[in-house]
Amino acid sequence: MGSQALTDRARRILTVLVREYIETGAAVSSQSLADQSGLGVSSATIRNALAQLEADGYLMQPHTSAGRVPTDKAYRVFVDLLIETGRRTKAPVALEHAFQEQAARSPLVRDLMATLAHEVTLATQHVGFTLSESQAPILQHIEFVPLGGSRVLVVVVARGGDVTQKVVDAGEPIRPSDLSQASNYLNGEFAGLPMPEVRAAVIARLLQEQTLYNELLNRALRLANSTLEGFPISREFHVEGAASLFTVTGVGDNPVSLTTLRSLVDMMEEKQRLLYLLTEYIEGPGLTVVIGAEHLTPDLRPFSLVASTSDDGGSLRTVGVIGPTRMHYSRALGVVDAAARTMTQALRNSQ
């Protein structure tokens, strides 16, 4: 039976059971459910419903005499209901304040993302991560700094505060005043455009008749072309909270193996493997929840991932947590959603 085929009674019983198990970590009895479900039915009726839910793969019974605990399939029903109804715990006000203070101190994306990963970890007691990726950074401004001789430092600032620096040999000495005039020209012509479009326009102008542009503007275009060639994808990834993993428990309160914990810690330290998995999961703006067996790699199957992604004009920015499948999903959803919204607003205000 799929989740869509569950009766209202079965869904309500399952929801109450998952919520109680998340809170207590103990197998839930039919008598406890009869007292809490609000259905006004006997514990015998509840037992029959639990038996059917177990047969359908939503529950398991650790011991014959024990109550039931939810499987990943039950957590999925529970989380989908939370998202559908919008029921989630309000994020701590301190989280928004801490991020807004950091945004006031430094609007650079890397600083904001690092702060948010830390604050999300504190708010949820899970591994917290932030990911910012832009396939097409927007040019905010470009600046030329003379280094002596024919060498010029080109500083390119993208919207959101990402900074790229590159030393270019202009082929001949250029006066600081000429470099300033060249940067003013480029900023006036191209600020606000995606980097690929800027480079395409620069190349197009270089290919036009040289008589259309004076020597100074040609220098500016050549410097810009050299700098924007192979312009890197802007990507910031921060993850922290490894200590929280060592308080994790699995289904039925069996501790997650040290081998599994080490594997995830290794992923956090290497970053590239974890980053690859995250980019596979996150397809676009909105909430992403991956629970237990839904993970692509066995190493993550004792865990759940909850993330919120926003699209900030070509940049995807994600805030998320990784924790046990017995996660307080309502709190996690509230925290990552509020954090993503706060981050987006802070970055917009910094532009």
CATH number of the domain at 116, please.
3.30.450.40
Rounded to whole angstroms, the Cα distance separating 121 from 320 reads 9
Q: What angle do CA 78, 84, 88 make, to 5 degrees?
A: 70
pLDDT tens, residue by residue, 211-261:
455 777 777 888 888 777 766 556 778 898 887 777 654 434 445 667 777
Instruction: Name the token pair of 167.
Output: 């030393």
Cα–Cα distance measured from residue 53 to residue 62, given in angstroms and rounded to the nearest whole number: 15
Q: How does pLDDT run across 180-202, given as a tens digit for each residue? A: 888 898 899 889 888 878 887 88
**Same domain assignment for residues 260 and 113:** yes
Same domain, yes or no: 169 and 313: no
Over residues 77-100, the pLDDT tens digits come to 999 999 998 877 776 777 777 767
Whether 318 and 213 map to the same domain: the answer is no
pLDDT band (50, 70, 90) for residue 52: very high
Residues 79 and 13 placed together within one structural domain of the fold: yes
Q: Do 48 and 99 lie in a common domain?
A: no
Q: For the ranges 12-21, 137-146, 217-226, which has the lowest average pLDDT?
A: 217-226
* Same domain (yes/no): 128, 238: yes
The total number of structural domains in the chain stands at 3
CB 36 within 8 A of CB 20: yes
CATH number at residue 39: 1.10.10.10
Cα 297 from chain centroid? 19
Which pair of structure tokens corresponds to residue 157? 């600032």
Domain-ending residue, one of 228, 250, 267? 228
Residues 105 and 60 in one domain: no
Residues 240, 345, single domain; the answer is: yes
Looking at the fold, whether 111 and 45 belong to one and the same domain comes out as: no
- Residue where a domain terminates, one of 228, 263, 293: 228
Query: pLDDT digit string (tens) for 94-126?
Result: 777 776 776 677 666 777 888 888 889 988 989
Residues 6+ apart with CB under 8 A from 306: 287, 288, 289, 320, 321, 323, 327, 329, 332, 333, 336
Q: Could you give phi then psi for residue 340, rounded to 5 degrees?
A: -65, -40
Same domain, 278 and 325: yes
- Find out whether 242 and 127 touch, Cβ atoms under 8 Å: yes
Phi, psi of 70 (to 5 degrees): -75, 150
The residue written with tokens 């759940």 in the block is 304
Residue span of the structural domain in which 97 resides: 93-135+233-350
Do residues 40 and 69 share a domain?
A: yes
Residue 37 tokens read as 């479900």
- Among 228, 260, 295, the domain-final residue is 228
- Residue 178, pLDDT above cutoff 70: yes
